[in-house]
């Protein structure tokens, strides 16, 4: 099992939190590729300001050789059961009163990404602020108390012989 955490995870997190942003999305990409967050940012053509929209993350994954399938989270307070061994989960946090944000802009600022990865028969979750933890533990149950799963990307590597279609059928 490879519980990789980017060596610059804490440094980059502190840098972007000072600016009012975060690194959860790029940290997830760094874990998928087993590289540093700085390497992800250097290799991408985006100007990173502390937030990575899901559509940009999806494009980056596809450029890295992965097929993706977007699934709705149905505002669930449980982590999903993806059909692939890898998934990026988008979590929408609640405001301080436990309610959904009224404006799209505020909601966007309070979004978090985690990675779900299957090792053998067990699901594990990577959070850039909390590290790795098993899906079936009290920590994961409490993790979604202040938010819900708004959507998730199922991810699968595209076979090297065919760069056009992965096991998910490419981008749908």
pLDDT at position 135, please? 92
**C-alpha–C-alpha distance, residues 52 and 57, integer Å:** 6
Domain limits at 143?
Answer: 9-157
pLDDT at position 138, please? 78
Mean pLDDT, all residues of the chain: 89
| 31 φ/ψ sector (left φ>0, alpha ψ -120 to 50, else beta) | alpha
Q: Of 36-45, 51-60, 77-86, 132-141, which gets the smallest average pLDDT?
A: 132-141
Give domain status of residue 171, yes or no: no
Q: How confident is residue 143, by pLDDT bands cut at 50, 70 and 90? A: confident
**C-alpha–C-alpha distance, residues 69 and 57, integer Å:** 12
Give domain status of residue 172, yes or no: no
pLDDT at position 123, please? 95
Q: How confident is residue 116, by pLDDT bands cut at 50, 70 and 90? A: very high
Q: How confident is residue 86, by pLDDT bands cut at 50, 70 and 90? A: very high
DSSP state of 20: T
**C-alpha–C-alpha distance, residues 160 and 75, integer Å:** 36
Q: Are 118 and 125 in contact (CB under 8 A)?
A: no
pLDDT at position 162, please? 57
pLDDT at position 114, please? 96
CATH code, 142? 3.90.70.10
Percent of the chain with pLDDT over 70: 92
Q: How far apart are the first and last CA of the chain?
A: 30
**C-alpha–C-alpha distance, residues 114 and 70, integer Å:** 15
SS3 71: strand
pLDDT at position 70, please? 96
Give domain status of residue 61, yes or no: yes
User: Full-prediction pTM beyond 0.75?
Assistant: yes
**How many structural domains are present in the chain?**
1
Q: Are 169 and 104 in contact (CB under 8 A)?
A: no
129-135 own/partner pairs: CB under 8 Å, 24+ apart: 129/13, 129/24, 131/3, 131/5, 132/3, 132/5, 135/79
Q: Is the pLDDT of residue 167 over 50?
A: no
SS3 75: strand
Give domain status of residue 4, yes or no: no
Q: Are 112 and 147 in contact (CB under 8 A)?
A: yes
Give domain status of residue 167, yes or no: no
Q: Which residue has the tokens 């059961």?
A: 81
What is the average pLDDT across 35-58?
Answer: 90
Give domain status of residue 163, yes or no: no
């Amino acid at each position: 099992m490879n519980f990789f955490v980017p060596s610059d995870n804490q440094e980059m997190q502190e840098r972007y939190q000072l600016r009012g942003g975060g690194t959860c999305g790029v940290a997830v990409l760094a874990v998928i590729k087993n590289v540093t967050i700085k390497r992800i940012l250097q290799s991408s053509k985006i100007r990173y300001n502390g937030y990575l929209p899901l559509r940009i993350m999806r494009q980056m994954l596809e450029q890295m050789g992965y097929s993706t399938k977007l699934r709705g989270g149905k505002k669930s307070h449980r982590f999903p059961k993806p059909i692939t061994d890898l998934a990026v989960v988008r979590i929408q946090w609640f405001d301080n009163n436990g309610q959904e944000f009224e404006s799209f802009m505020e909601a966007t600022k309070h979004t978090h990404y985690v990675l779900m990865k299957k090792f053998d028969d067990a699901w594990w979750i990577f959070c850039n602020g909390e590290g790795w933890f098993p899906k079936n533990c009290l920590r994961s149950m409490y993790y979604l108390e202040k938010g819900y799963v708004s959507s998730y990307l199922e991810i699968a590597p595209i076979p090297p012989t065919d760069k056009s279609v992965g096991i998910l059928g490419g981008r749908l």
